[in-house]
């Protein structure tokens, strides 16, 4: 009788621990969304701007830094070529993408139209068909494109 009581107490304790662990996992993954940050698209450079506006020690900046992704490369590798792949039908709905396409010579990128393609920026070190790196640029603005390309493409003076 006592062993059944101990066993049921043990099972109940494991169940409670499992629930509390799951609650912690869910609360930590939801917290970025609760603060209004989308961790899949939030650039860390945006958090620096938040810090400039609200103060470097603000809770909003620290939470932003916890949720952001660094879109700049971790190494000093520069790329020879960038290709923006888009679906022609969706260009008219995204003014920033249209502005990037209009400035393709200035930005030194190529445009590839592909039916049903997501908007991806692909960097290539050679003329191979396989990209070295592929990034989702779904929420990028024209300024984000300009900054990223100026930092990550080899310019004619740096060759």
| pLDDT (tens digit per residue) in 13-50 | 565 645 444 434 444 445 787 888 877 677 787 888 88
Q: What is residue 126's predicted lDDT score, i.e. its pLDDT? A: 65
Q: Where are the domains of the chain?
A: 2-67, 81-158
| Domain 81-158 in CATH 1.10.3660.10 | no
Q: pTM for the complete prediction?
A: 0.51
Q: What is residue 132's predicted lDDT score, i.e. its pLDDT? A: 78
Which strands, in side-by-side order, build the sheet including 81-86?
110-113, 81-86, 120-124, 133-136
**In the predicted structure, residue 94 carries a pLDDT above the cut 80:** yes
Confidence band of 140 (pLDDT split at 50, 70, 90): confident
């Amino acid at each position: 009788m006592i062993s059944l009581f101990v066993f049921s107490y043990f099972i109940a304790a494991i169940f409670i621990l499992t629930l509390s662990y799951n609650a912690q996992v869910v609360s930590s993954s939801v917290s970025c969304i609760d603060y209004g940050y989308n961790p899949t698209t939030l650039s860390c450079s945006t958090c620096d701007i938040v810090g400039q506006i609200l103060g470097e020690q603000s809770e909003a900046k620290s939470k932003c830094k916890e949720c952001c992704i660094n879109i700049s490369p971790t190494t000093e590798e520069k790329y020879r070529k960038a290709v923006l792949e888009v679906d022609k039908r969706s260009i008219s709905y995204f003014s920033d993408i249209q502005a990037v396409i209009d400035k393709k010579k200035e930005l030194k990128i190529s445009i590839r139209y592909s039916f049903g393609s997501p908007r991806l920026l692909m960097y290539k070190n050679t003329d191979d068909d396989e990209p070295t790196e592929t990034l989702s640029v779904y929420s990028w603005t024209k300024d984000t494109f300009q900054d990223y390309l100026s930092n990550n493409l080899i310019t004619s003076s740096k060759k």
